[in-house]
Amino acid sequence: MPRHPTDPPAPFHAAAPLARLIAAGLLDYPECLAALAQAAGAPTAPSGLRTRLAHALTDAVTHWQIRRALAAREIRRALAPSLAVRVRASALLNTARAENRALGHPLRDVECAALARQEAARHLGAS
Write phi, then psi, for 68 (nearest 5 degrees).
-70, -40
Integer Cα distance of 93 and 26 in angstroms: 23
Q: Is 45 helix (H, G, I), strand (E, B) or coil?
A: coil
Among the residues of 4-108, which ranges form H helices? 9-23, 29-39, 47-84, 89-102
* CA–CA dist 56, 16 (Å, integer): 8
How far is 56 from 49, CA to CA, in rounded Å? 10
Low-confidence stretches of the chain (pLDDT < 70) are: 1-3, 42-46, 126-127
Instruction: Look at residue 117 in the predicted model and tell me its pLDDT.
Output: 95
pLDDT at 7: 74
What global pTM score does this model have? 0.84
Please give the pLDDT value at position 127.
56
